[in-house]
Structure formats: structure tokens, C-alpha cells
Amino acid sequence: MEAMHEGDLCIRVWRASVRRLLPLIWGINAFLLVTNLALAAGWRPPVNTIAHQLNMDNEICLAAWYASSLLLLVAGAAALQAGLSGQVRGSARRSRPGWWMVTGIALFLSADETATIHETIGNSYIKYVNATFLGAHVTWTELLAPFILGAALFLGIFLWRELRSTPRARAIFGVALGCWLGAVALETLAAVLGAMPVLGIFEPAVEETLENVGTTLMLTALLELGFRRSVKPLGQDRTAA
């Protein structure tokens, strides 16, 4: 009984710590959105370094590192689920490879936030292959469309199934996926209609915020699942579902 009490206490402390972390993340998201909208509207802080570090459209700054860190947290939460799945038998264990794939996608996206991978691929294609396709200018979203659609389809199917026993987490994940796809659609629209002044000025702030919001919601959904499975064993959870 003492061991169970200590384990329950650890879970309660962990949950309380996480619940304090999420409001902080949402506060940072809101701060970056307001700051970047102000910068886009013409505001300039007294120290230019502040504007440089808070510019979410800059891949080599503190704001990009923050977005990368959020994705690392998602990767860690997915890896934890993979570890839990490996400790049981049956259908729950068979989901382990899927969780590792979620981890891999999150790690790739985290690296892309600061390593400009998708921009490099797009620029290299334009430089060495062709700048147009069927008369239209090529963008990175078109080149990486198979990966984007494939990853979105996999995440949608796999996580929708895994989160079926936690309706709240499933609903949060659905909104998260919508935010990510909305960010990609917005960047594609901006590339096509880049001449529109208002869209071109404020698009980066809205797009990057959609990505951060989607990542935060994804993290929240995985934590909700983790909370449930910390109370109810994974095998029971899957059987009940």
C-alpha cells in the first residue's frame, strides 16, 4: 500500500507540474503573436536585437528555437507512449511502431524549425531543376506535398484511433491538426498572392502562431492521454475502448 501511495503521489506531482507548464506555453504563444503583429504593423523596439530575436519568421532566433522546443516536447510525449506500449501485450503493443513514427515526425519538424530544411529543398529544386511547373512558380509546399499529406493522413488515422478512449484528447488533436494544415495552406496562399500588401505583412505572424498553437494542442492531447493511462493501466484502457 505504501508503494502504491508513493506512486500515486508522484503522478499527482507530475500532473500538477504539467498543468502549470501549459498556461506558461499559452502565455508565450500569445506574447509572440502580439509582438509579431506589432512588428509587422511598424513597431520597432529601442533595441533592434529584441525585434530580431522575437521575429517568428526568422529561422535563426529565439522564437524559432521556442517552436523547435515545443516539437521536442511532443516528440518526448510520443516516445513515452511508445515505451508504455512496449510494456504490455496485445493490440496496445502493436501500436508501438506508430508511436515511434509520431516521434520521428515531431523530431524532423523540430529540426526543420531551425535548420531551414524545407526552404533548402525548395531553393535547391528551383536552382538545379526547374523554377516553374506547368507555368506556375514552384514553392516548397508543392515539392513536399506528398510528405505533408502523408504525415497528416498518418497522424490523423493513427492518433484518432489511439485517442478514442479519451474523447477530450481526441477533440484537441483534431483542432491541432487543423491548425497545422491551416498554416501550410496560409503559407501557400501567401506565396501565390504575395503581392497583396496586408496578407504579405501579417501572414508570417498568423502562420507561425497557427503552428505553435497546433503544436501546443498536440502536446496537450498527448498529455491528456498520458494522464488517463497513468490512472488506468494501458491494457485496461485499450480493453475498455
Could you report the per-residue pLDDT of 124-150, keeping only the tens digit for each?
777 777 666 655 666 777 777 788 889
Name the residue range of residue 210's domain: 2-240
pLDDT above 70 as % of the chain: 75
- In this predicted structure, what is the pLDDT of residue 220? 94
How far apart, in Å, are the Cα atoms of 106 and each of 72, 75, 117, 198, 237? 7, 5, 14, 32, 25
Specify the number of domains making up the chain: 1
Higher pLDDT, 123 or 105: 105
Q: What pLDDT does residue 74 have?
A: 96
Determine the average pLDDT of the residues in 27-34: 96
pLDDT digits (tens, 9 = 90+) for 49-71: 788 888 888 888 899 999 999 99
Each residue of 105-117: pLDDT tens digit? 999 999 988 887 8
Say if residue 44's pLDDT is above 90.
no
Secondary structure (3-state) at 148: helix
Residue 1 has pLDDT above 70, yes or no: no
Residue 37, C-alpha cell as written in the block: 503583429
pLDDT at res. 135: 58
| Three-state SS at 132 | strand
